[in-house]
Amino acid sequence: MLKVTLPDGKVREYSRRVRPADVAADIGPRLAKAVLAAEVDGQLIGANQPLPADGEITLRLITDKDPQALDLLRHSCAHIMARAVMRLFDGVQLAFGPTVGDGFYYDFQMEHKLSEEDFAKIEAEMARIVKEDEPFERVEMDRNEAVEFCRDLNQLLKVEHLEETLAGERRVSFYRQGEFVDLCRGPHLPSAGAVGAFKLMSVAGAYWKGDASRQQLQRLYGTAFFQKKQLDEHLKRLEEAKRRDHRLLGKQLELFMIDPEVGSGLVFWLPKGAVVRRELELFLYDELLRRGYQPVYTPVIGNVHLYETSGHYPYYKDTQFPPIEMDDGDRYLLRPMNCPHHVKIYQSKPRSYRELPLRLAEFGQVHRFEQSGELNGMVRVRGFTQDDAHIFCAEEQVADEFRGCLEMTQFVLKTLGLNDYRVRLGFRDPAQDKYVGDAATWQRAEEALENVCRGMDLPELHIERGEAAFYGPKADFIVADCIGRQWQLGTVQLDYNLPGPDRFDMEYIGADNAPHRPVMIHRAPFGSFERFVGMLIEHYAGAFPLWLAPEQVRVMVVSQKAEDYGRRVERRLAEAGLRAGGDYRAEKIGAKIRDAQLELIPYMFVIGGREADEENVAVRDRIEGDLGTMSLEAAVERLKKEIREKTVRSKD
RNA sequence: GCUAGCGUAGCUCAAUCGGCAGAGCAGUUGAUUUGUAAUCAACAGGUUGUGGGUUCAAGUCCCUCCGCUAGCUCCA
């Protein structure tokens, strides 16, 4: 006798052996048709997998309304795609085919080089499979038997997987659909027909088991939905992301450039982009001073020896510009981070406990030789400027200091209208050996960090093992922009190791007149100006809030007769500290407005004979349109207020 | 770095089977003097990313290098 408890609390009892599909059929014919899978005591199984013969279970039937259903659909669609590829090409070896973020992929090893030209053919074959609507049939067998089975199918990657990763399993499952069989944990849709809409997205290389030393496979990406309409919406979102691409907007709006002759990944801030950056720098600077930081400036290169001491050089040798070798044998490294220089300032004289916490801040330019394939506009570059600071404090000050750093980051994000973020605690993965320092120190640091964070009401705080820096645990802010894409930006890192005896061997004299070791905190609310501004361009779709806008107001004259008054208005705006431009071309006013709108200039002051007579301006807002006529002084005040308050406004 | 794709005017793109490199926007000049998202006209703009090869003939086909894009690996 099986007792099944449904989510509404109702209980059903069965003396015969049933499947979730049977339970659904009991409840009603509509549900019987709609059921795709089930959650049994929290575990996902297929609709046609048998339930236990007796005992008590809770059962939740899954239909296309459930969030998990989409993953199920996409996983099945990955099988459908693999089946189509195997029908079309010879000698296909299957690797893995999971779901990811907004779709799925399948990795293949095969002779034929897949390209986008093959997509139509593959999609047509997939459509045929979906139409045939054959069931996904689960087949279980012993692992040993499975090895032979895969060998017979000539699926050697699967054989390897069974013999290595799955060596500990006794039984494994396959899913069969017509002539197609694939080693797979499942579950799957009852049959292929539920796949309403799908599309192949791209083809790329991927390493077998994610290991760059192993062979490279061909990865085919696709996405799928229950309905065509949902697929169309998804494609529209991708278009929207493309429209916001900071590389295109950066070029269009003349914010930054990269010149291949100068070097890949080296950013030029053009005058308009430089305004955005400078405003952000001033904003941070103010905030740093308010919070007791002391700005410093340090060299952008340093003796390699320094980075050997810090441990950075050996750890990151491959991703640094190689050292500059001098005739006398000295070797200098383009600095890949700022901390060693700040440590040197700390060590430039004996320190007393009275000086702590010592907070040294620098917008420090650093260089890292990222692999060419990693470079991406402003968000992944080889030279960038961190909004960096290092806090040297006594152990008992760590909690307060760390909290202060997190609060500053929260304040900065809030000011910019970035309200959707989560905090990830990156801890050490004890199984890896890429860390410096002993286990006890790490434990102490991780506990201190976690305690601070738990006491702070940080959104979606979660721990990830293996995400720590090599010298200590950290808290990263992962920010979602207005269309939901996630960016890892600000970071606060706790460091008991660099000050330690094996590294810089730092100390201060305590109240007890004995030497003590300080603790270091590394922190950067933006991360880097390049990456942060790249993200901001996409977040705002190039339309910056007034306080950041390169050109805040454009004065435009209805006819050239009003030019004199227009230029007076422009001068008055400049006097008031506003960034104003003027348009005195022999164009119609409509054309000037259009150009200013396309340049995303927040305000337009339209000026003709009527305004000139009364010292007025007709104000047009980029978002709201015509705001009517007001006195020049009232308009100036209105803009100054918006700047002072750093108001973030958007069209949507 | 690896796999695949792409590279034509400042920008967006065209050029059939290998057969005279072209358009719109931007720019310059001239006309027009305009009231809330494009006034009209003329002019100018190119070693088709680089170097080589095949061919009577290469933007187009082949090879090399450079760069870009997507993904993989990496990210102090």
Q: What is the ipTM of this complex?
A: 0.94
Q: Tell me if residue A411 falls in helix, strand or coil.
A: helix
Annotated catalytic residue: which of A83, A474, A539, A554?
A: A474
Tally the residues of chain A.
652
Q: Tell me if residue A233 falls in helix, strand or coil.
A: helix
**Nearest nucleotide, CA A616 to C1':** B35
Residue A651 has pLDDT above 80, yes or no: no
Q: How far apart are CA A218 and CA A213, in angstroms?
A: 15
Q: Kindly state the average pLDDT of the residues A271-295.
A: 97
Q: How far apart are CA A584 and CA A567, in angstroms?
A: 9
Give the model confidence (pLDDT) of A227-262 as tens digits.
999 999 998 888 888 889 999 999 999 999 999 889
pLDDT of residue A517: 95
CB atoms within 10 A of CB A576: 17
Mean of per-residue pLDDT scores for chain A = 92
Task: Enumerate the H helices of A244-299 as residue ranges.
Answer: 246-252, 271-290
pLDDT of residue A102: 85
Q: Which nucleotides of B are covered by protein (CB under 7 A)?
A: 1-5, 11-12, 31-39, 66-76
Give the model confidence (pLDDT) of A592-645 as tens digits.
999 999 999 999 999 999 999 999 999 999 999 999 999 999 999 999 999 999
A606: CB within 7 A of chain B nucleic strand: yes
From the CA of A203, how many Å to the C1' of B59? 27
> Is the previous residue joined to A190 through a cis bond, with omega within 30 degrees of 0?
no
pLDDT of residue A44: 87
Give the model confidence (pLDDT) of A65-99 as tens digits.
888 899 999 999 999 999 999 999 988 999 999 99
Reported as a pLDDT band with limits 50, 70 and 90, residue A494 is very high
From the CA of A264, how many Å to the C1' of B46? 25
In window 168-197 of A, residues with CB < 7 A from nucleic chain B are none
A75 noted as active-site residue: no
Q: How far apart are CA A471 and CA A469, in angstroms?
A: 5
> Is the previous residue joined to A323 through a cis bond, with omega within 30 degrees of 0?
no
From the CA of A115, how many Å to the C1' of B9? 31
A522 noted as active-site residue: yes
Task: Enumerate the H helices of A291-385 as residue ranges.
Answer: 304-310, 312-316, 339-346
**Nearest nucleotide, CA A211 to C1':** B73
Task: Locate the domains of chain A by residue range.
Answer: 2-63, 70-239, 256-539, 553-644
Instruction: Tell me what percent of the residues of chain A surpass a pLDDT of 90.
Output: 71
pLDDT of residue A516: 96
Annotated catalytic residue: which of A218, A386, A397, A410?
A: A386
Residue A452 has pLDDT above 90, yes or no: yes
Annotated catalytic residue: which of A150, A184, A339, A405?
A: A339
Residue at minimum CA to C1' distance from nucleotide B72: A206
Residue A505 has pLDDT above 70, yes or no: yes
Give the model confidence (pLDDT) of A339-397 as tens digits.
999 999 999 999 999 999 999 999 999 999 999 999 999 999 999 999 999 999 999 99
Strand partners, A267: A258
A68: CB within 7 A of chain B nucleic strand: no
Q: Tell me if residue A111 falls in helix, strand or coil.
A: coil
What is the signed CA dihedral for A319, A321, A325, A329, rounded to 10 degrees?
A: -30
Strand partners, A197: A225
Q: How far is CA A453 from CA A388, A474, A527, in A?
A: 21, 11, 19
CB atoms within 10 A of CB A595: 16
Residue A166 has pLDDT above 90, yes or no: no
**Nearest nucleotide, CA A336 to C1':** B76
CB atoms within 10 A of CB A585: 12
CATH number for the domain formed by residue range(s) A553-644: 3.40.50.800
From the CA of A529, how many Å to the C1' of B43? 43
Give the model confidence (pLDDT) of A208-227 as tens digits.
988 888 888 999 999 999 99
Residue A652 has pLDDT above 70, yes or no: no
From the CA of A63, how many Å to the C1' of B69? 38
From the CA of A527, how many Å to the C1' of B52? 45
Q: How far apart are CA A186 and CA A54, in angstroms?
A: 23
A381: CB within 7 A of chain B nucleic strand: no
pLDDT of residue A56: 87
A597: CB within 7 A of chain B nucleic strand: yes
CATH number for domain A256-539, candidates 3.40.50.620, 1.10.760.10, 3.30.930.10, 3.30.1280.10 = 3.30.930.10
CATH number for domain A70-239, candidates 3.30.980.10, 1.10.3660.10, 3.90.1150.10, 3.40.50.300 = 3.30.980.10
A586: CB within 7 A of chain B nucleic strand: yes
Determine the topology of domain A2-63 in CATH.
Ubiquitin-like (UB roll) (3.10.20)
Residue at minimum CA to C1' distance from nucleotide B5: A115
Q: Tell me if residue A197 falls in helix, strand or coil.
A: strand
From the CA of A376, how many Å to the C1' of B69? 9
A386 noted as active-site residue: yes
Residue A553 has pLDDT above 90, yes or no: yes
A246: CB within 7 A of chain B nucleic strand: no
**Nearest nucleotide, CA A488 to C1':** B75
A302: CB within 7 A of chain B nucleic strand: no
pLDDT of residue A557: 96
Annotated catalytic residue: which of A277, A368, A503, A523?
A: A368
In window 308-347 of A, residues with CB < 7 A from nucleic chain B are 312, 315-316, 319-320, 336-337, 339
